[in-house]
Amino acid sequence: MIALHLVSPLLLMSMMVPLALAQRAELLVAQKGDRSLGIVDPATGNVVANVEEHGVTGHEVAASPDGRLAVVPIYGDSGVGMAGSDGRNIIFIDLATRKIVSNIEFTHGVRPHCPIFNPADELLYVTTELDHTVTIIDPKTFKIVGTIPTGQPESHMLVLSHDGLRGYTANVGPGTVSVLDIKARKLIKVVPISGQTQRIAISNDDRWVFTADQKQPRMAVIDTATDTVKTWVALDGLGYGSAATKDGRWLLMAVPSKNDVDVVDLKTMKVARTVAVGKGPSEVLMRPDGKAAYVACEHSNQVAEIDLATWEVTKMMATGKGSDGLAWARGE
């Protein structure tokens, strides 16, 4: 063991770098209208950097587990199921240098959308809508290593169980959810939901999967033991993105038409309260410490911070145009 008095100032500084990274936390915002990734200091609520995506925009973002990289699938210039360009690449951004360091390009348009890192196998999973698949990427080599068929078009959003063994995609146009065996890389079942569905979330105990009906103001609750819709939760408008609180008690569901968030009690499966936010809330992200939630407000170009103890909005952060996808990045 090296005695502290023998450590040179230069070596001491180098030893402190990992500690500084560990304390760094950044909120990542996919700014669709600006075709850029916004990097926000969550303490001040200020955008500290914007990284241009050079052309067609990405809608979603994920941070690598070590907090060093942001992954942005370049979706295209339209919405799901709509005419427009078909994105065909995924960019990787170094969060320290704020530069694009790698680019995965498909041989054809696939509209890549929702990226998720799986801690179970350390691989990256990305929905590839036009191929009716989820594409698997090795983030160490930036190589595609496999695919999983969803059996449905418009597989837009994806969630994974916490053990990394099951995946669930929200298939927008068909109004279904595909259940995937991640290890075997195969489709298990397609669960019918409604005429159209949007976004998807999972409970912290992996018992329930949630998706919002786009024909009626209600949320489907899928029992993962049977892969069937167990119940419906009435909402105060058509829901969109959602996320469960760390304690597993609540689910926050964005309701764009009402400019608010419905807070669903997961014990009673009823809306317990609503929280007013900015215009057009789309995505909800929980802070890792469980004390706050962030809500992207696409039409007011903001991100709202909600205190989960008081249910009050504590910050309205001014971000880029069309702010949508969110991710939390924390260095090692």
Low-confidence ranges of the chain (pLDDT < 50): 1-22, 332
A 10 A CB-CB count for 192 gives 12
pLDDT at 330: 85
Q: Across the beta sheet with 228-234, what order do the strands follow?
A: 197-202, 208-213, 218-223, 228-234
pTM for the structure as a whole:
0.92
Instruction: Kindly tell me the burial class for residue 153, based on how many C-beta atoms sit within 10 Å of its own C-beta (0-12, 13-18, 19 or more).
Output: middle
pLDDT at 54: 77
Walk me through the domains of the chain, giving residue ranges and CATH numbers. Answer: 25-330 (2.130.10.10)
Between CA 204 and CA 162 the distance in angstroms is 8
**Which tens digit of pLDDT belongs to each residue from 55-67?**
779 999 999 999 9
The DSSP output letter for 58 is B
| 3 state SS of 131 | helix
Closest CA to 243 of 285, 212, 276: 285
